[in-house]
């Protein structure tokens, strides 16, 4: 079973990647010696599929398990939902000795992680991610948080999980579109750090929702390495994970929630970033084409609808965290597998790249 050890200044934890790991949860949790109550946070999509199986397994570890189901969707990442869940947990006797388990995709992981960061000034938490994006990206690295009306993830904390358990078998139950959108992040990791992996991704069957565990583990390994190099995103290394996300987030925020899935918007953002990498750096057209072929293989969009106005995307982009005091730290590729943060991208370049997406 591939296990990735994350070694940080104040936290060390394992990411277990195994087909069928979910059926061995009790075994995997034993080394943590959980003694207090356990609160499972899940959502209205994942709860009906996997919650009762998880509770059954936890019964052999502790009798004190409660669960909280938040509505599926980004709207649940709110301070009011945090308050409501924390109140319920308190009423049910949770406190400093409790452990939180996040069972779900990125929304559940970010939400439960932030709750764990602030509940009784911080309790341990375990991630059991159930989507591709949450498995290869958001469950690892300790970014937790909720949204404000003014923007995504504006309230949050770095709070590392104590364990991440990744069962690729859980991906089989995802709707096909949600399975495929996750590959935008898989492709992003390969594009910024491992050019050879792009060929492996290109060889995958986009309809087979049981990806090779080894490939997923190595893809998570890229994220793990970046987090170890720059846990708190202070040196610029972790910012490389934003490849495709500056324009991608702007596009995602410009349409009603759910119109474009996160990975679909990021796919467009990656195409824009490739365009600018060719224009401002040394990336070749054939290198771009390799990445674009991977995105197309997973049915990810590469063409921006004319219904989404450039001015709206720019407005959204300016309220993004990555737009620091009016200047953009934009991630480009020098070559496949080598990303850097450029200071040489201005609004005009961004407008040009957005317009290019319409072609």
Name the site residues for ligand GLY (rule: CB under 6 A). 137-138, 141, 143, 238, 241
Which residue's entry shows tokens 């498995």?
135
| Smallest gap from residue 281 Cβ to ligand GLY (A) | 21
CB closer to ligand GLY out of 138 and 277: 138
Q: How distant, in Å, are the alpha carbons of 3, 209, 257, 348 from that of 262?
A: 27, 19, 10, 25
| Smallest gap from residue 249 Cβ to ligand GLY (A) | 11
Give the DSSP per-residue string, 171-183: GGGS-HHHHHHTH
d(CA 12, CA 245): 28
What is the three-class DSSP state of 355?
A: helix
CB closer to ligand GLY out of 137 and 178: 137
CB closer to ligand GLY out of 224 and 354: 224
CB closer to ligand GLY out of 57 and 160: 160
When CB distances to ligand GLY are compared, the closest residue is 241
Which residue's entry shows tokens 């937790």?
144
Q: Is the dihedral of CA 236, 239, 240, 244 positive or negative?
A: negative
CB closer to ligand GLY out of 80 and 234: 234
Surface-to-core class of residue 32, CB atoms within 10 Å of its CB (0-12 exposed, 13-18 middle, 19+ buried): middle
| Smallest gap from residue 90 Cβ to ligand GLY (A) | 29
What is the b/e burial string over 274-297, where b = at least 16 CB atoms within 10 angstroms of the residue's CB? Answer: bbbbbeebebeeebbebbbebbeb
89-97 CB contacts, 8 Å cutoff, 24+ apart: 89/39, 89/119, 92/66, 93/37, 93/64, 94/37, 94/39, 94/66, 94/119, 95/36, 95/37, 95/120, 96/120, 96/121, 96/123, 97/35, 97/36, 97/37, 97/123
| Smallest gap from residue 31 Cβ to ligand GLY (A) | 25
d(CA 95, CA 316): 39
CB closer to ligand GLY out of 47 and 244: 244
| Smallest gap from residue 141 Cβ to ligand GLY (A) | 4
CB closer to ligand GLY out of 47 and 263: 263
Structure tokens given for 222:
């890229």
CB closer to ligand GLY out of 61 and 339: 339
| Smallest gap from residue 38 Cβ to ligand GLY (A) | 25
The number of beta carbons lying within 10 Å of the beta carbon of residue 194 is 18
| Smallest gap from residue 160 Cβ to ligand GLY (A) | 11
d(CA 310, CA 170): 38
């Amino acid at each position: 079973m591939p296990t990735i050890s994350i070694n940080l200044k104040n936290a060390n934890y394992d990411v277990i990647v195994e087909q069928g790991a979910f059926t061995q949860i009790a075994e995997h949790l034993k080394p943590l010696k959980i003694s207090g109550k356990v609160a499972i946070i899940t959502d209205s999509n994942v709860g009906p599929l996997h919650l009762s199986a998880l509770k059954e397994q936890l019964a052999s570890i502790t009798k004190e398990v409660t669960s909280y189901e938040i509505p599926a969707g980004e709207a649940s990442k709110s301070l009011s939902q945090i308050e409501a869940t924390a109140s319920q947990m308190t009423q049910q006797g949770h406190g400093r000795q409790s452990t939180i388990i996040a069972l779900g995709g990125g929304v559940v992981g970010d939400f439960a992680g932030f709750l764990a960061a602030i509940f009784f000034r911080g309790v341990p938490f375990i991630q059991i991610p159930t989507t591709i994006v949450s498995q290869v990206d958001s469950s690892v690295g300790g970014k937790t948080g909720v949204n404000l009306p003014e923007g995504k993830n504006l309230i949050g904390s770095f709070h590392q999980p104590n364990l991440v358990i990744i069962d690729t078998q859980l991906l089989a139950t995802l709707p096909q579109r949600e399975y495929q959108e996750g590959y935008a992040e898989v492709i992003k990791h390969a594009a910024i750090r491992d050019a050879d992996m792009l060929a492996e991704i290109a060889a995958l069957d986009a309809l087979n929702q049981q990806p090779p565990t080894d490939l997923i583990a190595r893809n998570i390994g890229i994220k793990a390495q970046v987090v170890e190099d720059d846990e708190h995103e202070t040196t610029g290394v972790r910012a490389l994970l934003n490849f495709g996300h500056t324009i991608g987030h702007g596009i995602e925020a410009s349409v009603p929630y759910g119109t474009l899935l996160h990975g679909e918007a990021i796919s467009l953002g990656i195409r824009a970033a490739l365009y600018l990498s060719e224009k401002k750096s040394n990336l070749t057209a054939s290198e771009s084409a390799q990445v674009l072929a991977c995105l197309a293989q997973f049915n990810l969009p590469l063409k921006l609808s004319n219904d989404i106005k450039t001015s709206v995307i720019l407005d959204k982009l300016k309220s993004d965290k990555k737009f620091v005091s009016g200047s953009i730290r934009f991630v480009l590729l020098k070559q496949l597998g080598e990303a850097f943060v450029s200071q040489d991208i201005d609004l005009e370049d961004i407008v040009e790249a957005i317009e290019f997406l319409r072609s």
